[in-house]
A and B are shown apart, each in its own frame.
Chain A
Amino acid sequence: MGKLLAVVLVIIALASAYPIVTNMFELPKDISTHGHAIDEQIKDTMLEAGISFVGAQLVLAFLVWSFAGRKEGSALKNFPGGAKIMVIGAFVLVGTEILALGVMGQKAWANVYFTSPAPGALQVQAQAEQFAFYFRYAGPDGQFGTIHPDKIDEGNQNYFGLDPANDVAARDDIVSGELVVPVNREVQLLMHAKDVGHSFYVRELRIQQDFVPGLDLSLHFTATQIGKYEIVCTQLCGLGHYNMKAYLNVMSQEDYDKWQKEQSTQ
Chain B
Amino acid sequence: MAESSVEKAHVHAPPEGFIRKYVFSLNHKVIGKQYYGLALAAVFTGMFLSWLMRIHLVWPMLKIPGLELLTKAGAPGGIITPEYYLSLMTMHGTLMVFFVLTNAPFAAFGNYFLPIQIGAEDMAFPRFNMMSFWTTFVAWLVLMLAFFIPDGPPISGWTSYAPLSAVGRDAGPGMEYGMSLWGISIALFCIGSLLGALNFIATTLDLRAKGMTLMRMPLSTWAWFITSCIALLAFAVLLPACILLILDRHAGTSFFIPAGLVVSDRVQPHAGGSPLLWQHLFWFFGHPEVYIAILPSMGIISHVLVNSLRKPLLSHRVVIYSMMSIGFLSYMVWGHHMFLSGMNPTSALAFSFPTLTITIPATVLTLIWLGSLYGARIQINSASLFSLGFISMFVAGGVSGFFLAQPSIDIYLHATYFVVGHFHMVMGVASLFGVFAGTYFWFPKMTGRMMDETLGKLHFWITFVGTYCIFMPFHYLGLVGNVRRYQSFVDDFMAPYMGWHKFITICALITGAGQLIFLYNLIYSRFRGKPAPENPWNATSLEWTIPSPPPWNNFGGKHPVVYHDPYQYGVKGSKGDFVMQDSPEQVIASGD
Contacts and interface: CB of A to CB of B under 8 A. Distances in A.
B273 A109 contact: no
B340 A28 contact: no
Interface in B336-358: 340-342, 345-346, 348-349, 352-353, 356-357
A186 B360 CA distance: 40
Contacts of A72: 377, 577
Interface in B255-312: 257-265, 267, 273-276, 310-311
Given A60-B392, A101-B406, A197-B163, A209 B373 contact: no
A242 B487 contact: yes
A76 B590 contact: yes
A15 B396 CA distance: 13
Contact of A214 (B273, B385, B407, B590): B273
A73 B157 CA distance: 54
A25 B477 contact: yes
A138 to B, nearest CB: 21
A1 B458 CA distance: 11
Given A90-B367, A102-B352, A230-B492, A76 B360 contact: no
A203 B412 contact: yes
A56 B408 contact: no
Contacts of B380: 1-2, 5, 68-69
Contacts of A232: 483, 491
Interface in A102-119: 102, 105-109, 112-114
Contacts, number: 313
A64 B348 CA distance: 40
A220 interface: no
Nearest to B404: A45
B267 A149 contact: yes
A258 interface: no
Interface residues on B, range: 35 or more
Contacts of B399: 49-50, 52-53
B364 to A, nearest CB: 4
B549 interface: no
A168 interface: no
Interface in B458-493: 461, 464-465, 468, 472, 476-477, 479-481, 483-493
Contacts of A95: 360
A67 B373 contact: yes
A8 interface: yes
Interface stretch (B164-172, B192-200, B228-236): B164-172
B276 A215 contact: yes
A152 interface: yes
Interface stretch (A35-43, A175-183, A249-257): A35-43
B378 A2 contact: yes
Nearest to A11: B465
A253 to B, nearest CB: 27
B430 to A, nearest CB: 13
B163 A45 contact: no
B342 A210 contact: yes
Interface residues of A, number: 103
A213 B261 contact: yes
A196 B263 contact: yes
A150 B268 CA distance: 10
Interface string A169-200: 00000000000000000000000001111010
Given A86-B371, A98-B357, A102-B352, A67 B263 contact: no
Contacts of A242: 82, 485-490
B395 interface: yes
B409 A201 contact: no
Contact of B349 (A52, A109, A237): A109
A201 B528 CA distance: 56
Contacts of B263: 130, 195-196
Given A79-B372, A152-B262, A234-B415, A64 B364 contact: no
Contacts of B275: 197, 212-215
A49 B315 contact: no
Contacts of B86: 236, 239, 241
Contact of A76 (B171, B311, B414, B487): B311
Given A86-B368, A90-B367, A149-B262, A27 B468 contact: no
Interface in B474-530: 476-477, 479-481, 483-493
Nearest to B349: A106
Interface in B131-147: none
Contacts of B409: 38, 41-42, 45, 105, 108
B173 interface: yes
Contact of A98 (B173, B359, B373): B359
B535 interface: no
A27 B480 contact: yes
Contacts of B18: none
B408 A105 contact: yes
A57 interface: yes
A149 B345 CA distance: 29
B263 to A, nearest CB: 4
Given A52-B395, A242-B488, A196 B377 contact: no
A13 to B, nearest CB: 9
Given A83-B318, A208-B411, A74 B491 contact: no
B310 A67 contact: no
B362 to A, nearest CB: 9
A28 B314 contact: no
A203 to B, nearest CB: 4
Contacts of A241: 86, 485-487
Contacts of A76: 310-311, 375-377, 570, 590, 592
Contacts of A142: none
A78 interface: yes
A79 B348 CA distance: 40
Interface of B: 82-83, 86, 155-157, 161, 163-164, 167, 171-173, 175, 257-265, 267, 273-276, 310-311, 314-315, 318, 340-342, 345-346, 348-349, 352-353, 356-357, 359-361, 363-364, 366-368, 370-380, 385, 388, 391-392, 395-396, 399-400, 402-403, 406-409, 411-416, 457, 461, 464-465, 468, 472, 476-477, 479-481, 483-493, 570, 577, 590, 592
8 nearest A-B pairs in the assembled complex, by CB-CB distance: A214-B258, A77-B375, A83-B315, A108-B408, A113-B345, A234-B415, A203-B481, A86-B367
Interface of A: 1-2, 5, 8-9, 12, 15-16, 19-20, 24-28, 37-38, 41-42, 45-46, 48-50, 52-53, 56-57, 59-60, 63-64, 67-79, 82-83, 86-87, 89-91, 93-95, 97-98, 101-102, 105-109, 112-114, 129-130, 149-150, 152, 154, 161, 194-197, 199, 201, 203, 206-210, 212-215, 217, 230, 232, 234-239, 241-243, 245
12 contacts: A24-B476, A25-B477, A42-B413, A76-B592, A77-B374, A112-B411, A149-B261, A197-B163, A208-B411, A230-B493, A235-B161, A238-B155
